[in-house]
Amino acid sequence: MSRNAIDTSVSDHSVSDHSVSGSSVSDTTLTTDAAAYCLQLGDDALIYAQRLGDWISRAPQIEEDMALANVGLDLLGQARELLTRAGQLDGTGRSEDELAYLRDERQFHNVHLVEQERSDFGFEMARMLWFAAYQCELYAALANSSDETIAGVAGKAVKEVDYHRDHASQWVLRLGDGTSTSYVRMKEGLERVAPYVAELFEDDAVSVAVSEAGVGTLPSSLWDSAFGHVSRVVAQATLTLPTDSTWRSRGGRQGIHSRPMGFLLAEMQHIARSHPGATW
Amino acid sequence: MYGNDFIDPDEPLNAAEFGDVDDAVAAAATTAAQRAEGGSSFEALLAADQRIEPRDEMPEAYRKTLIRQIAQHAHSEIIGMQPEGNWISRAPSLRRKAILMAKVQDEAGHGLYLYAAAETLGVDRAELLDLLHSGKQKYSSIFNYPTLTWADNGAIGWLVDGAAIMNQVPLCRCSYGPYARAMIRVCKEESFHQRQGFEILWTLSRGTAAQKDMAQDAANRWWWPALMMFGPPDTGDAATTGGHTAQSMAWGIKRFSNDDLRQKFVDMTVPQAAKLGLTLPDPDLRFNEETGHWDFGAIDWSELWRVLKGDGACNAERIERRVGAHHEGAWVREAANAYAARHDLGQQQEYVA
């Protein structure tokens, strides 16, 4: 599997040679980009937390109900801080709840990976492995962000997502190297997740701008390390990463989503929108 | 009728906030230190108010009673994840979503402590789950009621968790050590749950007209089922439970009658409803100056029996989801077992170069 179709106009960097530093968020263009960047990261975390919440009381064993709730809670905490920061940076002063509950689908900037419906446990561990591997590299880089809030969120979150990555890795090992049935289901999980992976590592105008300003980092720069981790786990689990699929997801960062997203938002936002102005 | 416009954090809101749990911890430590002084027979330990521990001799009927009670309690925690779990996706603010996820996660944790406590009596969790799934063991009937609105999450915390705590605080002094210790931890967490439920209703009852109506509707629907959680009368002329209570009391498993606990719950809860500005759906509810207690109307026990027998709104749904998750997860558990059998899991597998 390769990072197929990723924007080749932006060169690859490893995490280590792309530390973020430099300017603070000051001029208007930059704050707009920084706000959009916070929305991208915050929306990824929020929407995946929403999907993980659906597992609670449906997991394979009680310990896993607790673990998936824990991962979801961590992501929700990250989302709340990043959305709040987005509302500060864009000058609207919108709260985490206004951003979570009162935006329409086209205003959400998460990748398609996190909005896909809950499926079986093999799919979920494949999704979590990739997403946590990505987030580990992301937050490690953002701990040096010139935006103190983002750096603070990242410094705390990097420890959380390290646990998430470990949790998913341990399960992929057990499922890949467990029974013949689990081998097949884990393999299928990796195959179903594969078309959504490249989008995570794709640069766009927002990430390029915040990266140049030292506020954020280029998603493409995270690929090597994230891929390295996933491929080691998959190999040890006696599995192989799927070959490139004929299609891949794209557009989430621009608010172009897949079919499940509208239904997810309808469910998530319904009560809050039914009572305009209410406090909960 | 509104009370003060704030929740006094120092005012106890549930039975776990009166110091009884801490007293039970202290008493257990004291009696444990004196354990060597008395005899070690089951009767001697009970007489000295000592805890019975897993390796102590115990009558088979005591062991079976405890397994049934602890398992039913564990099953209730696990099934009890569903009514509120159904609202995680729809919680109306991110703060409420986080609290609800943490709360439902706690219920899973309570289930685990309790299954572990039951396992000290020589059964295993898989056996107990099979008994739940096949309908041979029960869970609390309260979870067969539906959660229709957001306010139901408040009512469950305030009334259902409040009633559960009233039942569970005395169990912190239960004669069986592992159960008593599990209950201490559970009560402390449940106390927090009850408080967050009250706070949901507090916020709603100070909100829009629609929110206030939602809160009142939830209180109306959950009040009577919460009173039924204490079970039918089990002592005196009205007793309908066939003598189990007397035996459980003699064994130090049960310490108060169902009616005593129910009355304590009513006495604690009625003033809280007034603070919330909510009414309770009982025209006979009035303070009795002579007894110093709140009198309440007759409970419709036919409803409890009907729901217990399976004719509640959610009996089928709750079990179907639990059994479905268990079956769908079987391949995952089998894989974990197969992997563990082939690898030395004394240490986690190293996969990072």
Dist. CA B111–CA B223, nearest whole Å: 25
* A127 belongs to a structural domain: yes
Set of chain A residues whose Cβ sits within 8 Å of the Cβ of B324: 58
Q: What is the pLDDT of residue B63?
A: 97
* Secondary structure (3-state) at B272: helix
Which residue bears the tokens 């959610």?
A: B314
Residues of B in contact with A69 (CB under 8 A): 101-102, 104-105, 108
Per-residue pLDDT of chain B (353 residues; tens, 9 = 90+): 344 556 777 888 999 988 888 888 888 888 877 877 777 899 999 999 899 999 999 999 999 999 999 999 999 999 999 999 999 999 999 999 999 999 999 999 999 999 999 999 999 999 999 999 999 999 999 999 999 999 999 999 999 999 999 999 999 999 999 999 999 999 999 999 999 999 999 999 999 999 999 999 999 999 999 999 999 998 777 676 656 788 999 999 999 999 999 999 999 999 999 999 999 999 999 999 999 999 999 999 999 999 999 999 999 999 999 999 999 999 999 999 999 999 876 555 556 44
Q: Is residue A280 part of a domain?
A: no
Q: Count of residues for chain B?
A: 353
List, as one string, the DSSP characters of B180-230: HHHHHHHHHHHHHHHHHHHHHHHHHHTS-HHHHHHHHHHHHHHHHHHHHTT
- Tell me whether B215 touches chain A (CB under 8 Å): no
CB atoms within 10 A of CB A162: 15
Cβ atoms of B39 and B190 closer than 8 Å = no
**Contact, A265 vs A108, CB < 8 A?**
yes
CA distance B166 to chain A (A): 25
Interface test with A, best of B139, B351, B352 (most A CBs within 10 A): B351
Candidates A160, A265, A280: best to mutate against B (most CBs of B within 10 A) is A280
Q: What pLDDT sits at residue A8?
A: 36
B102 vs A49: CA distance, rounded Å? 13
Shortest CA gap A143–chain B (Å): 22
Contacts of B99 in chain A (CB under 8 A): none
Q: Say if the Cβ atoms of B336 and A169 lie within 8 Å.
A: no
Q: Which residues of A touch B115 (CB under 8 A)?
A: 62
Distance, CA of B194 to CA of B187 (rounded, Å): 10
Which of A50, A10, A12, A2 is CA-nearest to residue A194? A2
Which one of B147, B326, B331, B345 makes the best mutation probe of the A interface by having the most chain A beta carbons within 10 Å? B331
Residue of A169, A268, A279 lying closest to B90 (CB–CB): A268
Q: Is position A20 within any domain?
A: no
Tokens of B98: 């986080």
CB A17 within 8 A of CB B65: no
Alpha-carbon distances, residue B101 vs A114, B123, B193 (angstroms): 18, 30, 12
* Interchain contact B92–A (C-beta under 8 A): yes
In a domain, A12, yes or no: no
Residue A14 lies in a domain: no
Any domain includes A21: no
Cβ–Cβ under 8 Å, residues B227 and B266 = yes
Sign of CA pseudo-dihedral A211, A81, A108, A66:
positive
CB A191 within 8 A of CB A181: no
- Find the helix packing angle between B60-79 and B315-328, rounded to 10°: 90
Give me the residue from A62, A174, A181 closest to B108, CB to CB: A62
Evaluate whether residue A191 is within a structural domain: yes
A84 close to B (CB below 8 A): no
Candidates B257, B118, B262; CA nearest to B183 is B118
Q: How many CB pairs under 8 A join A and B?
A: 160
pLDDT tens profile A187-206: 999 999 999 999 999 999 99
Cα angle for residues B21, B218, A47 (degrees, 5° grid):
85
Instruction: Give the span between the Cα atoms of B245 and A67, in whole angstroms.
Output: 38
* CA–CA gap between residue A211 and residue A216 (Å, rounded): 5
ipTM attached to this prediction:
0.92
Amino acid at A40: Q
Instruction: Read off the pTM.
Output: 0.93
Supply the range of the domain harboring residue A201: 26-274
Q: Please return the burial class of A12, using the count of CB atoms within 10 Å of its CB with bins 0-12, 13-18 and 19+.
A: middle
Interface of A with B in 231-260 (CB under 8 A): 232-233, 236
B200: helix, strand or coil:
helix
Handedness of CA A126, A129, A131, A133 (dihedral sign): negative
| Residues from chain B contacting residue A96 (CB–CB below 8 Å) | 94
Q: Rounded to whole angstroms, how far apart are CA atoms A109 and A46? A: 11
CATH number at A49 reads: 1.20.1260.10
Tokens linked to B129: 């789950």
| Number of folded domains that form chain A | 1
All residues of chain B having their beta carbon less than 8 Å from the beta carbon of residue A275 are 92, 208, 210-211
Q: Quick check: A267 contacting B, CB < 8 Å?
A: yes
Look at residue A153 and tell me if it is in a domain.
Answer: yes
B300: left (phi over 0), alpha (psi -120 to 50) or beta: beta
**Number of alpha carbons in the 13 Å side-chain half-sphere of residue B142:** 31
What distance in Å separates the CA atoms of residue B149 and residue B213, rounded to the nearest whole number? 11
Which of B78, B329, B349 has the CB atom closest to A60's CB atom? B329
Reduce the DSSP state of residue A177 to 3 states and report it: coil
Question: A86 to each of A92, A96, B154, how far by Cα in Å?
Answer: 9, 9, 31
User: Which residues in chain A land under pLDDT 50?
Assistant: 5-23
User: In Å, how far are A6, A37, A164, B353 from A16, measured between CA atoms?
Assistant: 20, 21, 22, 16
Record the tokens describing residue A12, joined without a space. Answer: 């690859």
Chain A residues with CB inside 8 Å of B341's CB? Answer: none
Is B98's CB within 8 Å of A76's CB? yes
